Structure 1
Amino acid sequence: MTTLLNGSGEDHTVLVSTIDGLAGVGKSALVVQWAHQLREQFSDGELYVNLRGFDPVAESVRPAEALTGFLIALGVAPEAIPIAEEAKAAQFRTLVHGRRMLLVLDNARDTEQVLPLLPGSSGCLVVVTSRQRLDGLVARHGAHRLALTTLTRSEGRTLLSNYVGADRLSDEPAAVEALLEHCAGLPLALTLVAVQAAAEPDVTLDDLAADLSDERDRLDTLDAGGKTGIRAVFSWSYRTLSPNAARLFRLLGLPNSPDISSSAAAALDGTNVRRTRRALAELSRAHLLTRRGGDRYVIHDLLRAYARERAHSDDTEDDREAALERLLDHHLYATYTASERLAPDRALPALEYTDTALWRDFPTYEEALAWWDSEYPCVLATIRQASALGMSRAAWLAHVAAYPFKLRGLIDEFHASSTAGLRVAEAQEDDPARARLLFHLGEAHHFLGEFDVGSHYMRQAADLFSALGERWWEALAHNVQGETFLEQELYAEAAASVRRALELADDLKGAPAVLGLALAHLGDFDAAFSYLRYSLDTSGSDGFATGYTLHALGIAHLLAGDTKNAVESLHRAVEHRHHLGQRVGEATSLTALGKAHQARDEFDDARNAWQAALTILEERGHHNVEVVRALLDTIDSHL
C-alpha cells in the first residue's frame, strides 16, 4: 500500500479499489493501522465509513447516508445538505477538490455502493475494503487491487508469539500446530486465541487446543472449507467472560444498529451506565468489541452473529424481547427530550410506559443536537427493527423523531422512519399514531416534490384526525395541503383548504399567510393583504412563519403590480431565511426576487438573484433546478 502511494505521481492520486479477502482476515485492521502511520501525509484529514456491506443483521449503508456523514464531517451545515444522492455526491466532490485527504470505505458490498463516494479529482487516496472483488473499480477507474489471504503457519506463529512469548510456544510445539490448524490462519480467530492464552498463563496451550477441537460446529458465516473453527474460537473466548460481560455480549447481538453508545447498551442490559461501562471495557479488552470515537462501540459482524446465536440459546424469548423493548424505550425517551429541547413549542403526546431509569436530559440545545447527530442512525434502525417485531411504541418513536429528522434535512431517513412507523401503527390499529404518520409521509413526499402522493397521504391524515376529534392536527393537515396546492398552482383549492384549517384552529401560525398568497393569485388583493399583514403581526417568535409570510407578501405585491414593495419584502424574506438557515426557502425567495427585479427591468439584479438561487438548489438536488435554469435562459437576451 505504501509503495502504491509513493508511486502515485505528482498529484498523489491512487485508488486502491479493493483490499479484499474473507471475513476476519484483517482487511479493516490493516487499513486502520496503515492509515495511522501515514496520516501526516494527508494534510487535509481523513474520512472513514463502515458501509456494512455484509453485516448479517444491520442494513447496508446507502451511499446517500455515507455522503451525509462525510458532508457533516467536512463542516457542511445539515440544512445545506442536498436531498438527492446525486446532488450530495456533487457537493462532496466540490468540497474535496484540490484537498489532500484519505478516504477509507470499509466493508463495501459492491462497486455501485462505492461509486457515488469517489472524489472527482486528484489529491485524494481512496482505500476500499470488501469481501468481494470489486473488479468494476479496476476496469472503470484504473484502481489497484490487493488481495489478503490467510496467514501462513509462520506468520500465525509470529502472531501467537507476540502475545504469549516464544518460550511458551517452544514448550508446546504440538499444541501450537493444533491451534494454527483450528484457526486456519484467520487473524481474527488467532488474535482471540492469543489474547486468551496471554490472559491465562497457567492454562496450557494443549488445553486450549483441546477446547477448540471439541467444538465441532462451525459459524455458517465463515466456514472456510470446514477448516476454520471460528465458532469454537468465539465460544471459547465467550466462556472466559464474567457473567455480566457475557450477558451484555449476548444482548449486543440483538439490535440491528450499526453501533451503540454506553447509555443505549445500559438500557439494553437493564442496568446502570457505570456497570455497563465496566462490562464494555471487559469486552473491548477481550477484542470482542471495538471502541470508536467518543462513547460508541462497534461489534464485528461475525461476532454479532455469534452473540445473537448465544442470546437465542442462553436467554429466554421474554428476556430477548424485554431487552429490545428497553432499547426502544431508551431511544423514545431520549428522542422525546431532545425534540423538546430543539422545538419547545412543538406539541408532543404524553408518554406512557415511562421508566425513569432510561430517561435522558439535555440541558442545552447544542447537546440535544449533538446527541441526535450521533444517534439518529441507531434510532432509525430501532424503529425499523421494532416495527418488524410488531412493537407498538415504534410508531410513536417515529412520530417523535419526525422533527429532528426534518431539522437536519434527513428526508430519506424521515420517509423510511415514517413508513416503518405507519406499518406498525396499522398492525396495532393505533389510529392516533397512524394519523400522525400519514401526516409525516405527506410532509416527506412534499419535501421530495412528489405532490400528488403527498396530497394523498395528507388527505388521509386529515380525515383520520377529524374522526378522532383532533382539531389542531386536522387543521395543520389542511394547511400543509394548502401549501401543496399552491405548489401545484391550484389556488382556489389552496384557499379552500386553508380556510378549513382556520375554521378548526384560528390561531394556527402561518396559515393566514398561505391563505393570503392563494387569494393574491386569485386577484382578491384587499383580502390577501389583510391576511398577510395579520400573519406578520401574529407570527411572533416563529421564525419559519415569519419567513414564509414575508415571502408571500412579496409575491402578493408583485402580483398586484407593486414591484417596489415586492423587491423590498422579498429582500427581507431572503435575509430572514438565510439567517434561519432555511436554504431551500432562501432559494425560493431569491427566485421570486429575481422575478420582481425582472419586472422592473433590473436584469443584472434578476440574474444575480436567480444565479444565487440556482447554486443553492443544485447543491440540494432540488426539483426546481430546471425552473430556475429556464428563468436564467430568458434573461440572457437582455444582457
Structure 2
Amino acid sequence: MTDRDDAAAWGRLLRAHRLRAGMSQEQLARVSGVSVRGIRMIENGDRRPRASTVTALAKAMRLPEADGVALLEAAQPQARTDAASESSAAVRSAVVPRQLPPAIAGFVGRETELSALDRLLTPDAAGAALGTITGPAGVGKTTLAVLWGHRVAAHFPDGQIYIDLQGFSPTGKVVTPAEVVRTLLDTLGVRPAQLPHSPAGQLGLYRSLVADKRILMILDNARDTAQTRPLLPGGTGCVTVLTSRDQLTGLVATEAASPVVLDVMTAAEARQLLARRIGHDQVLLEPEAAGDIIASCAHLPLALALVAARAAVHPGFRLSALAAELRDAHRGLTALLGVHSATDVQAVFSWSYRAVSADAARLFRLLALHHGPELSVRAAAALTATSLRKAASLLTELARANLLIEDSTNRYRFHDLLRAYAFDLAVEHDSDDARDAANHRLLDHYLHTALAAERLINPQRIPIDIEAPTPDSVPYSPTKRAQALTWFTQEHRNLCATVQRAHDGYDKHTWQLAWAMTTYLAAGFWSEWILILETGLAATDRADDKHAHNRIHLALGNAHIRVGNMDEARRHLTTALKRGQPRSQANAHLALAFCAEQQGESALALVHSEKALQLFTEVDFPVGQAKALNSIGWHRAKLGDYDHALSDCQRALTLLHELGEPHGEAETWDSLGYIHHHLRDFDEAVTSYRHALELHTEFGNTHNLAKVYLNLAETHQAMKDVPAVRDDLGRALSLMEKLEHPDTEHVRERLRLLGPR
C-alpha cells in the first residue's frame, strides 16, 4: 500500500468518525481549530495529518480515548526505515500464547450455538470478528467458549488468549481494561522496558501488535460493554469471543457482534450429558430417576456435572438413590442464580459438598476467604495449615468432585456460584477465630513471599521491619531473580485483590503488601500501582504509623512521576521528606530533582541532587552516592557548567562500575555523551552514547534507547554526518512509535527533511 493509499484510508476513517459524531466539516473545523480546507484535504486523502492535528480532531469529536489512540495510529505512515522494521520485528516477539483452559470432557449438545460461533471464522464484513455468549450463571458459557476455542485453534497460528475479567466475582473486584491490556502485553512478549508510560499508549501498542495477526481471544465473565469495548482488537485477523451474564447489547448494536444466547440445556441434552458421564445403561434403566435429577439440577450443566461426578465415584449407587439424596438437601441461592429452581440447584451443591472428605470440605469452605481469581497449592496449604502434599491431594479431591476447576498450570479456581456457596458454609461452620487465623496465615504467606521476591528484584531498596510469619503460612522463598519475577507474574492479580480486601483489621499487612509489590508494579502496571499504594496509604493512616506513611508517600511520588503527574508527585515526595529517614529522604530528593527538571527548574533540580548526595554520604550508601553524583553532573550540564559536570559523572561512572551497577552505568554514559557533545569533543560523545546504547540494549530499555539515539543524532548532526543522523533518527522513530511517544511526529518530520538515502 502506498503512502497515498494510507492517507486515503485514514481520510475515510476520519469521515466515518465525523459522521458518527453528527458533525459537518464546517462544525468540526470550528470546534477543532483545523481549517475547513485542511479537513477536506485530509478526508480526500490529499495529505496525512500531523499528530497534533489528529489529537485536536479527536478531542473536537469527543472520541473515547481508545478511539483517539486508534485514530492516531492509523495516521502513521506504513513506510518504515530498515532500522525501524528491524526494531519492530524485535518487539513483535515470537511468543505464541496457548492459554485456553482444558476443554471439559463429555461435552454434549449446543450444536446450534457451535455452528453460530463457526460463522465467526468467515465474517461478512471487514474488521475483526466479534461474538458474544450470554446467559444466566451456571449455564455453561465458559465451557462452550473454551470447547469451541479448542476446536478452531488451528485457524489461529498466532495464538489463543484466555482472560477472566471477573465481571461477576463475589469479591466485587472487576478487572479494569487497563489491567487487562497490561496483562495482554505481557502475554504478547513485551518486556517492561518497552512499555509506553500511559494506559492509552499501552492500548495503542497492544492493538498495533495484534493488528496483522491471527489470534483467538476469549474474554470470559465480562461485566458489561464498557469493560470490554477498549479491549477489542483491530485488524481483520483476530476473533474475539466474550462471555457474560449481561446481554452486551451495546456491542451487538455498535460493533456488529454476533450474539449467542445460551439457555439451560434441553431435557434431551441434559439426559445425554448424564449418560455420557455415568453410563447410558444406568440412564436407560431408571429414566424417571434421571428425569428427577435433571429437574433438581434446573437443567444447568454446572449442577449436572456435580451429580455426574458424585455418581462416577460411586458406581454402585442407583439413580433413584441419588435423586432421593437431592430431595433431602435443600438450601437457597435464589438471589445469585436468578432462576426458579435455585433451591434445587443449591441442593446439588450441598450434596456434592457432603460427599467429599471432612478435610476437603474444610478446605472448600476456607477457599472462599481467598479474594483473587485463582490460587496455588501453597496458598491452599496456608489457609488450612497443612502440608503442601496434603493440600495438593485435597485440591485434587475437590476438582474431581467438580467443586473446583483445575487449570493446566496446577492452579485452581472457583465457579462464582460455588465460591458464594463456600462462603456461606464458612460463616455457618467455621468460627470467627478459625476464619481469622486462616486469613492471617494466607496474608503472611503472600506478604513474606512477596518480600523475598522483592529483595531479589530490587536488592538496593531499603528493607522494612516485619514480624515473623505465623506457623504453617508456608511462604515461598525464590532463590533467583527469574523465579521472583515468575511468582509476581502468576500472583499479582491475587495480590492486588488481597490488598484491596484485606484492610479490615489487617492494616499492617495491607501497607506492607502494597510496599512489597511496588518494584513489580512499577514495570508498567501504573494504574494498579497507584491504586494499591493509595489503599496502603489509607491503611497507614488508620494504623497511625507515620514511618510507614512516609514510605508509601515516597512510593506514590515515584508512581505519579511514571504517569507524568508531576504536581501530584511533588506533593507526595514533599510529604515523604518531612519525617523520613535519611536514606529515604535522599531518594525523595532525587525524585524531586527529576520533577523539577521536567518543569524547567534545573537550578532547583541541582539543589535536590546535592542534598541527596549529602544524605547518601551520611548513611554510607555508595550506590545512592553514585546515582546522586550522576544527577548532579547532569543538572550542572543543563545549566552550562560542563567542566564540573564532567568530573561529577566520571566519578559516578567509576563508582558504579566498581559496584556492578550496569543500569546506573548506562544512565551515566548518556550523561557523559551529552557533556562531551557540549564540550565539542564529538568523538568522545559518540563513544559514550554507544556505551549507553550497548547497556540499554542488554536490558531491553526501549525508553532510554530512544532517548540515546536522539542524543546521538544531535552529535552526528554537529559532525555533519548525515547518513549517521538518518540512521539514528530512524532507529529512534521505530522505538518511539511503539511507545506512543508525544514527539514521534516531530522525529518523523526531521527524517523527511533529510530526504531519501
TM-score, normalisation: structure 1: 0.92
From 478, 498, 502, the equivalent of 2:613 is 502
Q: Establish whether residue 66 from structure 1 lines up as the match of residue 180 from structure 2.
A: yes
What is aligned with 1:31?
145
Residue 175 of structure 1: how far off its partner (Å): 3.4
In 1: Cα distance, 2:168 partner to 2:559 partner: 29
Please tell me whether the aligned partners of residues 510 and 546 of structure 1 are also in contact (alpha carbons under 8 angstroms). no
From 665, 684, 691, the equivalent of 1:572 is 691
What is aligned with 2:646?
529
In 2: Cα distance, 1:14 partner to 1:122 partner: 4
From 495, 511, 515, the equivalent of 1:395 is 511
Please tell me whether the aligned partners of residues 127 and 236 of structure 2 are also in contact (alpha carbons under 8 angstroms). yes
In 2: Cα distance, 1:75 partner to 1:315 partner: 44
Q: Establish whether residue 310 from structure 1 lines up as the match of residue 425 from structure 2.
A: yes
Give the aligned residue type for 1:572: H
Please tell me whether the aligned partners of residues 298 and 341 of structure 2 are also in contact (alpha carbons under 8 angstroms). no
Pair 1:254–1:529, CA change in 2 (3 A): same
Q: Establish whether residue 448 from structure 1 lines up as the match of residue 563 from structure 2.
A: yes
Please tell me whether the aligned partners of residues 399 and 433 of structure 1 are also in contact (alpha carbons under 8 angstroms). no
Pair 1:635–1:620, CA change in 2 (3 A): closer
Per the alignment, in what secondary structure is the counterpart of residue 392 of structure 1? helix
Query: What do the CA deviations read for 1:475-531 (whole angstroms, capped 9, x no partner)?
Result: 111112112212222111111111111221123231111111112222223322221
What is aligned with 1:145?
259
In 1: Cα distance, 2:636 partner to 2:197 partner: 31
In 1: Cα distance, 2:417 partner to 2:117 partner: 30
In 2: Cα distance, 1:632 partner to 1:299 partner: 51
Q: Establish whether residue 518 from structure 1 lines up as the match of residue 632 from structure 2.
A: no
Please tell me whether the aligned partners of residues 219 and 230 of structure 1 are also in contact (alpha carbons under 8 angstroms). no
In 2: Cα distance, 1:636 partner to 1:600 partner: 20
- Report matched runs for 1:41-56 at 5 Å: 41-56=155-170
In 2: Cα distance, 1:216 partner to 1:73 partner: 42
Please tell me whether the aligned partners of residues 63 and 85 of structure 1 are also in contact (alpha carbons under 8 angstroms). no
Give the aligned residue type for 2:604: E
From 588, 591, 595, the equivalent of 2:710 is 591
Per the alignment, in what secondary structure is the counterpart of residue 539 of structure 1? helix
- Report matched runs for 1:367-386 at 5 Å: 367-386=483-502
Residue 113 of structure 1: how far off its partner (Å): 2.3
- Report matched runs for 1:133-282 at 5 Å: 133-214=247-328, 215-226=330-341, 229-282=344-397
Query: What do the CA deviations read for 1:553-598 (whole angstroms, capped 9, x no partner)?
Result: 2223344454444343233223322222222122222233333334
Residue 316 of structure 1: how far off its partner (Å): 1.3
Pair 1:211–1:244, CA change in 2 (3 A): same
Residue 202 of structure 1: how far off its partner (Å): 4.8
Per the alignment, in what secondary structure is the counterpart of residue 743 of structure 2? helix
Query: What do the CA deviations read for 1:193-225 (whole angstroms, capped 9, x no partner)?
Result: 222233334555444434444415234210313
Please tell me whether the aligned partners of residues 127 and 234 of structure 2 are also in contact (alpha carbons under 8 angstroms). no
Residue 306 of structure 1: how far off its partner (Å): 0.9
Query: What do the CA deviations read for 1:280-310 (whole angstroms, capped 9, x no partner)?
Result: 0000001111111312111111111111111
Please tell me whether the aligned partners of residues 507 and 542 of structure 2 are also in contact (alpha carbons under 8 angstroms). no
Query: What do the CA deviations read for 1:434-489 (whole angstroms, capped 9, x no partner)?
Result: 21111111111111111111111111111120xxxx21111111112112212222
- Report matched runs for 1:461-500 at 5 Å: 461-465=576-580, 470-500=581-611
Give the aligned residue type for 2:460: D
Farther-moved stretch of structure 1 (259-268 vs 626-635): 626-635
Pair 1:12–1:45, CA change in 2 (3 A): farther
Farther-moved stretch of structure 1 (277-286 vs 72-81): 72-81
* Superposition CA RMSD, Å: 2.5
Give the aligned residue type for 1:422: L
In 2: Cα distance, 1:356 partner to 1:589 partner: 51
Residue 257 of structure 1: how far off its partner (Å): 0.4
Please tell me whether the aligned partners of residues 556 and 566 of structure 1 are also in contact (alpha carbons under 8 angstroms). yes
In 1: Cα distance, 2:559 partner to 2:678 partner: 30
Residue 182 of structure 1: how far off its partner (Å): 2.3
Pair 1:339–1:8, CA change in 2 (3 A): same
Query: What do the CA deviations read for 1:170-210 (whole angstroms, capped 9, x no partner)?
Result: 45444333322222211111221222233334555444434
Residue 152 of structure 1: how far off its partner (Å): 1.5
Residue 148 of structure 1: how far off its partner (Å): 0.9
What is aligned with 2:28?
none
In 1: Cα distance, 2:220 partner to 2:710 partner: 41
In 1: Cα distance, 2:245 partner to 2:359 partner: 33
In 2: Cα distance, 1:389 partner to 1:258 partner: 22
Residue 271 of structure 1: how far off its partner (Å): 1.2
Please tell me whether the aligned partners of residues 550 and 569 of structure 1 are also in contact (alpha carbons under 8 angstroms). yes
In 2: Cα distance, 1:231 partner to 1:611 partner: 63
Aligned-residue sequence identity (percent) comes to: 34
Give the aligned residue type for 2:600: E
In 2: Cα distance, 1:392 partner to 1:403 partner: 19
Per the alignment, in what secondary structure is the counterpart of residue 49 of structure 1? strand
What is aligned with 1:549?
668
Q: Establish whether residue 119 from structure 1 lines up as the match of residue 119 from structure 2.
A: no
Q: Establish whether residue 347 from structure 1 lines up as the match of residue 462 from structure 2.
A: yes
What is aligned with 2:20?
none
Please tell me whether the aligned partners of residues 219 and 306 of structure 1 are also in contact (alpha carbons under 8 angstroms). no
Please tell me whether the aligned partners of residues 266 and 272 of structure 1 are also in contact (alpha carbons under 8 angstroms). yes
Please tell me whether the aligned partners of residues 368 and 419 of structure 2 are also in contact (alpha carbons under 8 angstroms). yes
Give the aligned residue type for 1:546: E
Residue 70 of structure 1: how far off its partner (Å): 2.6
Per the alignment, in what secondary structure is the counterpart of residue 337 of structure 2? coil
From 442, 445, 452, the equivalent of 1:337 is 452
Per the alignment, in what secondary structure is the counterpart of residue 70 of structure 1? helix
Per the alignment, in what secondary structure is the counterpart of residue 397 of structure 1? helix
Farther-moved stretch of structure 1 (325-334 vs 3-12): 3-12
Pair 1:577–1:82, CA change in 2 (3 A): same
Pair 1:77–1:304, CA change in 2 (3 A): same
Please tell me whether the aligned partners of residues 498 and 514 of structure 1 are also in contact (alpha carbons under 8 angstroms). yes
Pair 1:324–1:200, CA change in 2 (3 A): same
In 1: Cα distance, 2:240 partner to 2:663 partner: 41
Please tell me whether the aligned partners of residues 554 and 576 of structure 2 are also in contact (alpha carbons under 8 angstroms). yes
In 2: Cα distance, 1:84 partner to 1:348 partner: 29
Please tell me whether the aligned partners of residues 443 and 454 of structure 1 are also in contact (alpha carbons under 8 angstroms). yes
TM-score, normalisation: structure 2: 0.78
Per the alignment, in what secondary structure is the counterpart of residue 258 of structure 1? coil
What is aligned with 1:420?
535
What is aligned with 1:5?
118
What is aligned with 2:742?
626
Please tell me whether the aligned partners of residues 5 and 14 of structure 1 are also in contact (alpha carbons under 8 angstroms). no
Residue 618 of structure 1: how far off its partner (Å): 3.7
Query: What do the CA deviations read for 1:523-556 (whole angstroms, capped 9, x no partner)?
Result: 2233222211111111121122212212222223
Please tell me whether the aligned partners of residues 183 and 228 of structure 1 are also in contact (alpha carbons under 8 angstroms). no
Residue 11 of structure 1: how far off its partner (Å): 10
Give the aligned residue type for 1:5: D
